[in-house]
Structure 1
Amino acid sequence: MNVEKMNGKGTLEMNQVYHFIVNTAARTGKGIFAWNELEEILMQRQIKYETHLTEYAGHAKTLARELSEKGTESDPVYLVIVGGDGTVNEVLNGIVNFKNVRFGYVPNGSANDLANGLGWFKFDAKEILNKLLDGEYHGFAMDLGCSTDESGNKNLFAISSGIGIDAEVCKAALHSKLKKFLNAIHLGGLTYKLLTIHKLFTMPHVTCYLKLDDQPEKMIQKGIFAVGMNQPVEGGGVPMAPKAVCTDGKLTLCCVYGYSRFRAFFVLPSLLAGKHEGKKGFWIESFSKATIRLESAMVLHADGEYCGEQKHVCIECLPGIMKFI
């Protein structure tokens, strides 16, 4: 059985092996250099660890499934993710049983919206790893979200899941040459903002029907997007839900509707500045479970990952299931 306790200095002591799932392709291939620096810290601190390098798209999900199967509730696997938001999403969707895993996360992507949502933007990767090893996040339990499409496919998410233009932007960013270029000059967070401006002029308008928890279903005309937020920001720092909290057992809806393409361009600055709450055409509200029905299909995403074209989706909160080391 593992020994786990806090010593007098606040450092977490354990007879435990850390399993690092590392996306070396993060930040357009620069992830390997960041990992080399982190590995030096592990060796200096004489940490027991095993490295699991991702080799292809979806590999982090496979590794997470294999590793989580080895844990039990009384003897959990200690799993640390080194990569971007997409790597985190893969890992979450590979976990067999969250009770059998304790998580760590060292951000090393282009957007790092999860790190921003957690308030870690002021720390670099080495500082976060040291804080993790010092037990500063021990006991922290984060909510996750789950989106279920019309075919019953479930996608867990740590940041957000939505349908409409924000999902269109995420889909475009996955294979964007612009993203690769901006990542190379350390401006990857601009990708989503620039693609959003482009998509505004081609976006469809859809009539949709939204139901939050036990409230009556509400018809939305000229729907542009609807997203369930677990963190305040998505898409490289866009503050869709500035008041969202990932430990309150709730998600936050951000729905934008009723604007023409031309008018939408001029309200975009208020959204980017987080000043949209209370404005006409913006619906911001917390919920535990939401259902969205569309008259015509739109792109669905979970943490920026493409989840197909959907006409019906259910988004719900999974309170406190992501427990940190």
Structure 2
Amino acid sequence: MYYFIVNPKSRSGMGKCIWNNLRARLLQQNIEFRSYLTEHVGHATTLSRQISSLGTPDAPVTLVTVGGDGTIYEVLTGISDLRSVIFGYIPTGSGNDFCRGMALPKDPDAALTSIIRQDRIMEMDVPCISSEGSKYRFGISAGMGYDAAVCQEVLSTPFKKIFNRLHLGKLIYLFIALKKLMFLHLFSMTLHMDGDRIYHYDNVYFTAVMNQKYEGGGFKFCPDASPQDGMLDVITAEGMSKLKLLLMLPTAFFGKHVHVKGIHIFRCKSIDINTSAPVSVHKDGESGGISDKISIFLENNSLKVIMPMV
């Protein structure tokens, strides 16, 4: 039995069309499945909690997310016991950083084929972010500052749907990134890692804590990040002019930014981040509100993820 949690509104409504095609294929192949379409923010978490409770570590359920990167954190957050689930992912969003980092098929049909065959299973690290008294799991990255502020405005702008329908979704990110940078107020930040390493920076743009190499639609912010090494990778950008940051960002698509002065890369198992003023927070590209402190750590158990054949 396959359980599908589907976000029909992903990619500005294209998710529903993609799912209808996949559903027809499942029916044609007489594959046993149940599907659930999300109706509001947080619904995927509720559905995930209900479905995952049907499994056990000895008899896990196969839970497949059909949506964008932002749907992943909701599903991961809802899983009652990571050991009780085999996780599959079919991308219907525009960012595809999870597919990019995990080397999963970006084509929905190819992804479904891999899931049906269950070609191979990989154990993936699962980070957890604690902010303002709430905890969420995520699969890609979480962080504070400039990148989170861009994510939050992209999510709220009505132009995103228009640009996505024109297959120009990345342009809205670029436009808002430039706008945010122009009016951005920098802040001070303290990083406290693994209980004994403390770093303080003034004039910070952002810090991202990465489980994958990529975030933001292909920025290779932490080139050495791996979701299998039991470590979190951290990038902080600080102490540079806005023009320098603007010129640096394109190089991050290729991971060539790591030697730029003001870019700091760390590795840790847990991190507490405190800022001098409340700033934007994101988790897998979705809004995490505004806060002046977050904590991020790795769950004790990993998650079994369906992977394609090498």
Q: 1:316 aligns with which of 270, 280, 297?
A: 297
1:45 matched to 2:26? The reply is no
**What secondary structure, in the 3-state scheme, does the structure 2 residue paired with 1:323 have?**
strand
What is the CA deviation profile of residues 108-163 of structure 1, one whole-angstrom value per residue up to 9, with x for unaligned ones?
A: 11111101111235x411011101111213x21111211112x3321211000000
TM, length-normalised to structure 2: 0.93
Equivalent pair of 1:201/1:262 in contact (CA under 8 Å): no
- How much has 1:319 moved relative to structure 2? 6.0
1:145 aligned partner: 127
**What secondary structure, in the 3-state scheme, does the structure 2 residue paired with 1:201 have?**
helix
- How much has 1:211 moved relative to structure 2? 2.0
> Take 2:18 and 2:294, find their aligned partners in 1: how far apart are those partners?
37
Equivalent pair of 1:142/1:320 in contact (CA under 8 Å): no
Equivalent pair of 1:206/1:224 in contact (CA under 8 Å): yes
**What secondary structure, in the 3-state scheme, does the structure 2 residue paired with 1:93 have?**
helix
Equivalent pair of 2:124/2:227 in contact (CA under 8 Å): yes
Equivalent pair of 2:212/2:222 in contact (CA under 8 Å): yes
> Take 1:320 and 1:132, find their aligned partners in 2: how far apart are those partners?
22
> Take 1:40 and 1:298, find their aligned partners in 2: how far apart are those partners?
45
> Take 1:312 and 1:246, find their aligned partners in 2: how far apart are those partners?
24
Report matched runs for 1:78-89 at 5 Å.
Answer: 78-89=62-73
CA 1:55–1:214 in 2, change beyond 3 Å: closer, same or farther?
Answer: closer
Equivalent pair of 1:116/1:233 in contact (CA under 8 Å): yes
1:135 matched to 2:103? The reply is no
> Take 2:61 and 2:203, find their aligned partners in 1: how far apart are those partners?
47
What is the CA deviation profile of residues 181-218 of structure 1, one whole-angstrom value per residue up to 9, with x for unaligned ones?
A: 22111232343333222211111111111122254311
1:202 matched to 2:183? The reply is yes
**What secondary structure, in the 3-state scheme, does the structure 2 residue paired with 1:114 have?**
helix
More deviation in 253-262 or 165-174? 253-262
Unaligned runs of 5+ in 2: none
Unaligned runs of 5+ in 1: 1-16
Q: 2:98 aligns with which of 114, 118, 124?
A: 114
- Code of the aligned partner of 1:23: N
- How much has 1:60 moved relative to structure 2? 1.1
2:214 aligned partner: 233
TM, length-normalised to structure 1: 0.89
Identity rate of aligned residues, in percent? 37
- How much has 1:84 moved relative to structure 2? 0.6
> Take 1:320 and 1:124, find their aligned partners in 2: how far apart are those partners?
29
> Take 1:77 and 1:119, find their aligned partners in 2: how far apart are those partners?
23
1:76 matched to 2:76? The reply is no
> Take 2:82 and 2:184, find their aligned partners in 1: how far apart are those partners?
38
2:109 aligned partner: 126
> Take 2:57 and 2:103, find their aligned partners in 1: how far apart are those partners?
29
CA 1:216–1:58 in 2, change beyond 3 Å: closer, same or farther?
Answer: closer
2:43 aligned partner: 59
- How much has 1:284 moved relative to structure 2? 1.1
> Take 2:250 and 2:217, find their aligned partners in 1: how far apart are those partners?
15
Equivalent pair of 2:211/2:227 in contact (CA under 8 Å): yes
Q: 1:244 aligns with which of 222, 225, 236?
A: 225
What is the CA deviation profile of residues 276-319 of structure 1, one whole-angstrom value per residue up to 9, with x for unaligned ones?
A: 11210000122111111111111111111212211111112236
More deviation in 167-176 or 267-276? 267-276
- Code of the aligned partner of 1:307: G
Corresponding residue pairs, total: 306
- How much has 1:70 moved relative to structure 2? 2.0
**What secondary structure, in the 3-state scheme, does the structure 2 residue paired with 1:311 have?**
strand
- Code of the aligned partner of 1:141: E
Equivalent pair of 2:148/2:280 in contact (CA under 8 Å): yes
What is the CA deviation profile of residues 19-65 of structure 1, one whole-angstrom value per residue up to 9, with x for unaligned ones?
A: 11111111111112111221232123321101111122221111111
Q: 2:250 aligns with which of 256, 263, 269?
A: 269
**What secondary structure, in the 3-state scheme, does the structure 2 residue paired with 1:244 have?**
coil
**What secondary structure, in the 3-state scheme, does the structure 2 residue paired with 1:270 have?**
helix
Bigger Rg over Cα: 1
- Code of the aligned partner of 1:308: G
Give the superposed CA RMSD: 1.7
1:105 aligned partner: 89
> Take 1:299 and 1:104, find their aligned partners in 2: how far apart are those partners?
30
2:157 aligned partner: 176
What is the CA deviation profile of residues 232-283 of structure 1, one whole-angstrom value per residue up to 9, with x for unaligned ones?
A: 1111112111221111111110100002333322333323442111210000
1:193 matched to 2:177? The reply is no
